[in-house]
């Protein structure tokens, strides 16, 4: 079995990043340990990174949001002289399996988007201070910030050299952010993405690749002043204590991963995993003081952290399990009570962060390249926030009435206000708006059903499920559907699902995942990039790559 990649970490274990906080400003410093690669066989020179570096960055971003409400501005900077970041490690890319490269790029994209989410929705603004070379993924990291400063020392540059050097594309949103976010003119972007040496100084400002240049003599003072200026515009609270994110309790078994609110059963012969999410089993807080007292144990936050970890584990460590079956268990009233708390205290910084985290986890589910099936069974609690799981699924089946010999309540769905706004997808729509893109009145009918327990007939009438089966047919229909799904080509299913999950408006985010990432993933398999004479394999050897010149 392959080495299990661990997504949990904390600042005491960081090898590549450090956080320094001074009043309302935090410095997030990238100082990659060259010997700290996730796998053997390459060195992380020049602040180049692999998945392990990004796992630490993701953790740091989460902790800054939850543990440091006093931080209003974050300065991304390098801890090394004359280099900001050289991007994804080329030796790692040349050696990695295709699946690892894809998951690496996807996780890195999601981490970049979580930084932009902090800027846009949490009042925690990011400034990138580029001193030295920011190449490829290094410049892509800079691009996520609200403001980019470049030291004007005649050496420091920004560049996206992947096409010219490596026969691949910038894999974490570079092309898209250059045009969609920074509004770089198309012809200038074409030049920029075709030159190895990059752009520096005044030209970088004129082309809108950075926001300002600063001479070395005033660099430190200028960065601090700009960070304080950005911090002054934030609505982050003053005098509030943060919420520490402790390690998640998990037990790994041969065929299961068990958390406090999430259970994952692994069926390797059946090539599927069943993910069961449990409703709160202990009384929820009744007010904001109770929420703050519960802190990291608050069910919506802890459940989200566990589900996030489970999704990442399945994506990366169980590549053969192409089908994820989602179930829920427990009292739907408890889930709705949690939703009521999230709605009633939405303006509080901690509740806001919890809602935003739930949104990001659900987006990660949307972007997971596995077939997603939701089973709404007797005793389930697909209510409110947990109903988003079934709306994210490719198909959902509901059991009609009680099951034979089962005294649990019949299967039902319940909606809440959380289904109609807070959890937007990457296309800028709710999952119900996306589901009913061709019938918008159906969204209104679903909203009118808030407060009702929707049995199989009502759920089917409202279009909230795919099929409803009674006890006679349930077991056979579920079995046939699951067996059929895993019999199809995983490649074709991934392409089909990714296309069908994101109808509607195209956004920068859907362009990054749906267009740029799809092309990059294809290019990563082409001989021009990864063949024995391809650019990734020959980089640094002194030999020129040999390209098949056929355009397809």
Predicted pLDDT of residue 214: 98
pLDDT over 90 percentage in the chain: 88
Which numeric CATH code is attached to 12-231?
3.90.226.10
Query: 144, 182 in Cβ contact below 8 A?
Result: no
499-552 tens-digit pLDDT: 899 899 999 999 988 877 788 888 888 899 989 999 988 888 889 999 999 887
Predicted pLDDT of residue 404: 86
Structural domain boundaries of the chain?
12-231, 251-500, 508-538
Predicted pLDDT of residue 521: 81
Predicted pLDDT of residue 2: 67
Which numeric CATH code is attached to 251-500?
3.90.226.10
d(C-alpha 187, C-alpha 313), whole Å: 41
Predicted pLDDT of residue 517: 79
In sequence order, the β-bridge partners of residue 150 are 130, 213
In sequence order, the β-bridge partners of residue 371 are 323
- The angle subtended at Cα 508 by Cα 420 and Cα 343, nearest 5°, is 25
d(C-alpha 267, C-alpha 318), whole Å: 11
Choose among 45, 58, 57: nearest CA to 16. Answer: 57
The answer to whether the 12-231 and 251-500 domains have the same CATH topology is yes
- 446: which residues sit within 8 A by CB, 6+ positions away? 415, 419, 432, 436, 462, 463, 464
Instruction: Supply φ then ψ for residue 417, to 5 degrees.
Output: -60, -25
d(C-alpha 166, C-alpha 534), whole Å: 8
Predicted pLDDT of residue 1: 40
Low-confidence ranges of the chain (pLDDT < 70): 1-2
């Amino acid at each position: 079995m392959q080495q299990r990649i661990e997504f949990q970490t904390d600042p005491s274990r960081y090898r590549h990043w450090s956080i320094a906080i001074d009043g309302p400003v935090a410095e997030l410093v990238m100082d990659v340990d060259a010997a700290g690669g996730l796998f053997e066989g390459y060195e992380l020179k020049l602040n180049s990174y692999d998945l392990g570096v990004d796992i630490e960055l993701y953790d740091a971003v989460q902790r800054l949001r939850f543990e440091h409400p006093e931080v209003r501005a974050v300065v991304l900077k390098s801890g090394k002289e004359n280099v900001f970041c050289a991007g994804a490690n080329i030796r790692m890319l040349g050696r990695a399996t295709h699946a690892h490269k894809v998951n690496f790029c996807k996780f890195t994209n999601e981490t970049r988007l979580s930084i932009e989410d902090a800027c846009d929705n949490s009042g925690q603004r990011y400034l990138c201070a580029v001193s030295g070379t920011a190449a490829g993924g290094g410049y892509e990291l800079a691009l996520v910030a609200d403001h980019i400063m470049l030291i004007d020392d005649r050496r420091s540059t920004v560049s996206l050299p992947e096409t010219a050097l490596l026969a691949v594309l910038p894999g974490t949103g570079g092309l898209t952010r250059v045009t969609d976010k920074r509004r770089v003119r198309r012809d200038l972007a074409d030049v920029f993405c075709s030159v190895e040496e990059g752009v520096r100084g005044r030209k970088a400002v004129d082309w809108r690749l950075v926001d300002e240049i600063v001479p070395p003599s005033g660099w430190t003072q200028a960065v601090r002043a700009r960070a304080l200026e950005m911090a002054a515009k934030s609505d982050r609270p003053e005098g509030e204590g943060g919420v520490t994110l402790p390690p998640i309790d998990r037990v790994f078994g041969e065929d299961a991963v068990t958390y406090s609110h999430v259970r994952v059963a692994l069926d390797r012969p059946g090539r599927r995993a069943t993910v069961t999410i449990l409703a709160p089993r202990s009384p929820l807080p009744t007010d904001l003081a109770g929420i703050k007292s519960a802190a990291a144990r608050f069910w919506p936050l802890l459940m989200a952290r566990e589900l996030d970890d489970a999704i990442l584990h399945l994506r990366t460590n169980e590549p053969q399990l192409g089908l994820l079956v989602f179930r829920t268990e427990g009292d739907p009233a408890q889930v709705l009570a949690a939703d009521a708390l999230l709605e009633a205290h939405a303006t509080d910084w901690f509740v806001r962060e919890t809602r935003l985290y739930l949104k990001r986890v659900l987006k990660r589910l949307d972007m997971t390249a596995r077939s997603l099936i939701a089973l709404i069974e007797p005793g389930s609690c697909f209510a409110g926030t947990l109903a988003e799981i079934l709306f994210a699924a490719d198909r959902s089946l509901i059991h009609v009435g009680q099951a034979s010999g089962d005294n649990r309540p019949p299967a039902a769905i319940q909606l809440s206000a959380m289904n109609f706004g807070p959890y937007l997808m990457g296309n800028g729509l709710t999952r119900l708006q996306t589901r009913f893109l061709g019938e918008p009145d159906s969204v209104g009918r679903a909203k009118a059903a808030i407060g009702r327990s929707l049995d199989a007939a009502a759920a089917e009438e409202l279009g909230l499920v795919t099929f409803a089966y009674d006890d006679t047919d349930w077991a056979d229909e579920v079995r046939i559907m699951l067996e059929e799904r895993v019999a199809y080509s995983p490649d074709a299913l991934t392409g089909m699902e990714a296309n069908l999950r994101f109808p509607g408006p195209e956004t920068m985010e859907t362009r990054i995942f749906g267009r740029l990432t799809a092309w990059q993933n294809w290019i990563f398999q082409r001989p021009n990039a990864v063949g024995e004479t391809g650019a990734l394999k020959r980089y640094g050897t002194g030999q020129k790559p040999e390209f098949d010149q056929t355009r397809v």
